[in-house]
Structure 1
């Protein structure tokens, strides 16, 4: 398979396309990154490639498009089987990784965005939900350095952006979502994963993400954040 036939439609400020970039880099796959101007100026090519949800990221491999970041990560691991293994080999551990990724998608992400997008009592309700969700997520980490064990794996890629984006949302809203009191293991993992070279060298400039998030906050309050 020709690596040059890999294109990723994403956005410089998207945590969801960043997930896919991490997977591609772990596998050593060369790819072309197509930056989409979301949420207002999506290209016609993106809409053609993903007519169902019209969202990023979309991976195009050998002219075949594939949307949804977590689906793409598994596709990458299944397609390029040489080298770094993203998914666990053991079927039970693989199922566990998928379970916790789904938990994070269903519980942690909506609550986190809720804290960022809501105000007053509604925000406080979402803040409590977020703290409870992240405390539960710690169960998947336990005493390990990473969710993947001694090295980052599927779940680390799925939620690694939390370590970068959540502190930004906390600063904007002057709240504490993940801290040493309610989720000390997860807070420590934040530091560990941001210290991984491949992770930290792939992150967008923090000040730009801060300003981008602040700028789009009013829009996002009336529309779901894009994946």
Structure 2
């Protein structure tokens, strides 16, 4: 995985399969910022560093900048723009466009992960509802993407793309199999966008394959007694 450099100026605490940690890695790569990555054992016991750095939520990701913690992935992405203005900006310069990007990143956070977890956790009618909801979410995101190459439009690959790209490793196989649908069929433009994202070095080196995500969810289902 990219970014595992010994640089104490920036340290990222994460978990390998977390899309929230991965979006931070993508952002750091897009900006060309060296950092040290610290893998957290979320199942075997969280480190003292994580608990000290995020005492409220006690979760990853956490970005340490000269020892000072920044929590919550979308806030980390915005912080990187603010703290390193000389690097390529994830957010556009126009205030309205910035607010628009933040809206869609927030939509992704509130909708995709929650609905996706219900796809592989639930059965019966709740599962059918989650499936219908996920298809609607994907269609909504495809409508926002429209004919653009990336969600950033003229700005190019940006804030929403970095926020959403890690989810492609989840919906390309895990969500499709448990939801019994094809992203390429229900949202072909979104599937094409996912392929374009996967061709970017920042994305390719920051996320794992859909197969590894699917295997992880399979093991997690066993641990939770779902299987």
- TM-score (ref. length: structure 1): 0.89
Partner of 2:166: 161
1:68 corresponds in structure 2 to: 72
1:1-227 aligned at under 5 Å gives the runs: 4-149=8-153, 151-170=156-175, 172-173=177-178, 175-176=180-181, 178-180=183-185, 182-219=186-223
1:104-138 CA-to-partner distances (Å, cap 9, x unmatched) read: 11222211221122112211110001111121122
Please identify, of 161-170 and 42-51, the stretch whose mean Cα deviation from structure 2 is larger. Answer: 161-170
Q: Assess if the C-alpha contact under 8 Å between 2:142 and 2:190 holds in 1.
A: yes
Separation in 1 of the partners of 2:224 and 2:93?
Answer: 39
User: Is the CA contact (8 Å cut-off) linking 2:81 and 2:87 kept in structure 1?
Assistant: no
Kindly state the Cα deviation for residue 47 of structure 1 after the two structures are TM-superposed: 0.9
The two structures, once aligned, show a CA RMSD in angstroms of: 2.0
Shift of 1:207: 4.0
Instruction: Name the SS of the counterpart of 1:161 in structure 2.
Output: helix
Residue 52 of structure 1: CA displacement?
0.5
Offset, 1:187 = 1.5
| Larger displacement relative to structure 2 (211-220 or 155-164) | 211-220
Query: Structure 1: 5+ residue runs without aligned partners?
Result: 223-227
Tell me what 2:3 maps to. none
Q: Which residue of 1 aligns with 2:4?
A: none
Question: In the comparison of the two structures, how many residue pairs are matched?
Answer: 219
Indicate if the aligned counterparts of 2:54 and 2:69 stay in contact, CA closer than 8 A.
Answer: yes
Deviations 1:15-60 (A, max 9, x none): 1101001111111111110000123421122111111011000001
CA contact (8 A) 2:149 2:193 kept: yes
Structure-2 change in CA distance of 1:206 and 1:105 (3 Å): closer
2:81 touches 2:91 (CA, 8 Å); kept in 1?
A: yes
Runs of 4+ with >6 A deviation: none
The Cα of 1:63 is off from its aligned counterpart by 1.2
